[in-house]
Amino acid sequence: MRIAILHFHLRPGGVTRVIEMAHDALVAAGHEVLVVSGEPQPEAGRLPVDRVAVAPALGYGVTSSRWEELKEEVEACVRARWADGADVLHLHNHALGKNFALPLAVAAWAKEGERLLLHIHDFAENGRPENYRLLLEQLGGEEGLRAALYPVSSRIAYGLLNKSDLNRMHAAGDCHWLPNPVILPHAQHPVTAGELHAERLIVYPCRGIRRKNIGEALLLASALGAGEKLVLTAPPMTPSDQGLYARWKAVAERLRLPVIFEGQTLLGRSTVDFLVGASLCLTTSVTEGFGMAFLEPWLAGVSLAGRDLPQVTEDFRESGVEFAHLYARCDVPVSDARRQAVEQAIYEAVRHSCESYHVPIKAEMVAAASAAVFAGELADFGRLPEAAQERILEERGMAGVALSAEKPDVVEKNRATIAELYSAEAYAAKLEAAYHGLLEQPASGVDFLDTRALLLGMLDFGNFSALRHGALG
């Protein structure tokens, strides 16, 4: 098959790594692959130069008025490689609101009968209200969104990272569960605890962005034993996250917590070097798309503890991966006065989310959010606003959560399961199945999903967290 993979850029990171692994596995399986990017590949990029083409109108921030230009540029790139075009166009995050011309070009390709795999890693409707607002402005309001964003036809398939999203998109018809391949590069120089003046390292491999719930990681660190240190591997990149991150660094220093920030920069090592050197890995994240952090530690031979995200981990459990040391809640006591302040912050967060998405606020939404946070006189620490988290941490309100490692035989079982089921070869097989399904279909008429219904389904306050819904109070 001839497959053209489209993305806004090839900068180092999650989607680029997925594209690189897909390229390698598909080529190894005998397919021809062209990657079309909105930007040139960085000098350190891994893709062969002759398999990358640049269509500048595919980059970030391109306005909807340039959709024909984008379409023509992409088609020219593809025809330069294959005179009669590609068999399948495989697009990543076409509806995220990073490029406003792309949804209109996709709608046009759909109407022309092109075979499209629309691969969704993130939704503008799920915790990205600014993206959604810009889509509304660029595409002509809700009617414009409805007429462009999610086309449905016999020659369109959707790829989703988890089965929760798969269920949400069932009305699109041909939907495929496409969990990311999970492949660890070899550690070059594994970190030792002694280098950081510790006996055991608990490693949280993450950038310190808001949804990673750094405050809860510090709470757990406050209960570590003698000789144990928590290492956070990397800082955030965006100014909005950098401010909160600096705040947590100051809290950790003030309270003299056994925490090391930006371990990778400090020692000049890779994430894998820290994974392999860890005694235990930690996650306290409150939301994930795919959930690589729940799988990578096991491949490094290290157990994982921390916060469970059933909407993500249920897929892995069904695959046979065991998570005996993840917790559902990290409950702490809350005074009546603090509860009142938190409830007000919850209301403001729900109101803000509803306003951002142009959805009327309802009392049951606020009640669902409050029920997610509180259980009697206790509150789930990870669902609280940062201000409340900080005050509780300073009072040393200890959580009843112990961090424990898994038995070696379970670690090895998980490692083997992940290495088999989430390999590049397994990923390529899933992609091939999706592509072949498209090749077998005759052209049909095009319809579009009800974007409003999709939005309302994702605006779920029963899984409320202030870190996801914008509450800072």
- pLDDT tens, position by position, 341-353: 999 999 999 999 9
- pLDDT at position 401 is 73
> Residue type at 338?
R
Q: Is the pLDDT of residue 314 over 60?
A: yes
Provide the pLDDT confidence category of residue 338 given band limits of 50, 70 and 90.
confident
Average pLDDT over residues 416-430: 95
Helices within 140-196 (DSSP H only) = 141-146, 163-168
Cα within 13 Å of Cα(18), Cβ side: 24
**Residue closest to 372 by CA, chosen among 398, 403, 349:** 349
Q: What is the mean pLDDT of residues 205-227?
A: 94
Q: Would you say the C-alpha torsion 75, 81, 84, 86 has a positive or negative sign?
A: negative
- pLDDT tens sequence across 439-457: 999 999 999 999 999 999 8
pLDDT tens string 116-174: 999 999 999 998 888 999 999 999 999 999 999 999 999 999 999 999 999 999 999 99
Strand 331-333 vs strand 378-380: parallel, antiparallel, or unpaired? antiparallel
pLDDT value at 473 more than 70: no
What pTM, to 2 d.p., does this model score? 0.91
How confident is the model over 86-92, as a mean pLDDT? 98
Among residues 389, 396, 386, which one has the least CA distance to residue 255? 396
Given a cut of 60, whether residue 370 has pLDDT beyond it is yes
Query: Which of 217, 236, 232 lies closest to 386 in space, CA to CA?
Result: 217
Percent over 90 (pLDDT), the chain: 88
Please provide the distance, in angstroms rounded to a whole number, between the alpha carbons at the two ends of the chain: 53
Distance, in Å, from the CA atom of 285 to the CA atom of 291, rounded to the nearest integer, reads 10
For 438, the enclosing helix (H) or strand (E) is helix 424-439
Average pLDDT on 430-435 reads 97
pLDDT tops 70 at residue 29: yes
What is the predicted pLDDT for the residue at 470?
67
